[in-house]
């Protein structure tokens, strides 16, 4: 069935900054992540920024504290993290745009390079149809191994993962009535799937790519005021 979709990147689009950093800091405060593990993740994040290691390797290093943890334990932690950290950090304008997409009848998907396991509670909290993100490996004892499963959900992987999702449901995206929101050039492959392409606080490469496009928009969203 052909459907109207609204595709949202998450980090940098619906909130400021990298949510995996916030996740690891929160895990450290909750005593799930040791100081040594936290520092390891920071070191690999710096290495990724300097192009010394892959995004997959950096993510695996940042999430090494998950190794051996049971799925139900991680699900409970993720629910708490979304409720107390992520939802309060969402751009108010982004949340309004998401609600407007839902009101017009679009099916909303979050498609992100961030690991999907800790964003899945947002399906219920925000009423989105699904979270499509980087997958983490779980062994046959329902324990996380700490390793990335497959490719980082970034760039061309976003359309590929979306195609996988739609095929499993027997649906097709209606290009003319669908929208996509992103903040960086790595979101461009996803944005081009939809007639309406929205650059949110776009980085220079994305801004340049969207310039002159008939259905492209540039918006500037701001974080919520701290209480």
pLDDT of the residue at 35: 95
Pairing mode, strands 216-219 and 196-200: parallel
> Residue 57: its pLDDT value, please?
86
DSSP assignment string, 188-221: HHHHTTSSEEEEES--HHHHHHHTT-TTEEEE--
Q: What pLDDT is attached to residue 158? A: 98
Instruction: Give residue 227's pLDDT.
Output: 57
Q: Look at the pTM and tell me if it is higher than 0.85.
A: yes
Low-confidence ranges of the chain (pLDDT < 50): none
Residues 6+ apart with CB under 8 A from 65: 24, 27, 32, 33, 34, 37, 38, 146
Instruction: Give dist(CA 101, CA 107) in Å, integer.
Output: 8
pLDDT of residue 10: 98
pLDDT at 153: 95
**Structure confidence at residue 32 (pLDDT):** 93
pLDDT of residue 204: 97
Give the pLDDT confidence score for residue 42 in this predicted structure. Answer: 85
């Amino acid at each position: 069935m052909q459907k109207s979709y609204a595709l949202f990147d998450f980090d940098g689009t619906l909130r400021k900054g990298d949510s995996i950093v916030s996740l690891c800091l929160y895990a450290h405060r909750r005593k799930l992540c040791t100081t040594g593990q936290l520092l390891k993740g920071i070191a690999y994040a710096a290495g990724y920024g300097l192009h010394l290691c892959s995004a997959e390797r950096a993510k695996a290093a940042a999430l090494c504290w998950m190794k051996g943890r049971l799925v139900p334990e991680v699900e409970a932690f993720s629910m708490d993290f979304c409720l107390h950290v992520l939802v309060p950090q969402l751009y108010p304008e982004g949340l309004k745009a998401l609600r407007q997409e839902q009101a017009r009848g679009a099916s909303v998907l979050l498609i992100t390079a961030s690991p999907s396991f800790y964003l899945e509670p947002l399906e219920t909290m925000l009423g989105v149809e699904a979270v499509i993100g980087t997958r983490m490996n779980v062994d046959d004892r329902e324990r996380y191994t700490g390793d990335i499963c497959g490719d980082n959900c970034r760039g061309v992987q976003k359309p590929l993962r979306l195609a996988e999702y739609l095929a499993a449901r027997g649906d097709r995206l209606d290009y003319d009535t669908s929208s996509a929101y992103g903040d960086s050039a790595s979101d461009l492959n996803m944005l081009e799937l939809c007639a309406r392409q929205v650059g949110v606080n776009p980085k220079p490469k994305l801004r340049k790519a969207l310039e002159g496009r008939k259905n492209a928009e540039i918006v500037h969203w701001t974080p919520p005021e701290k209480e």
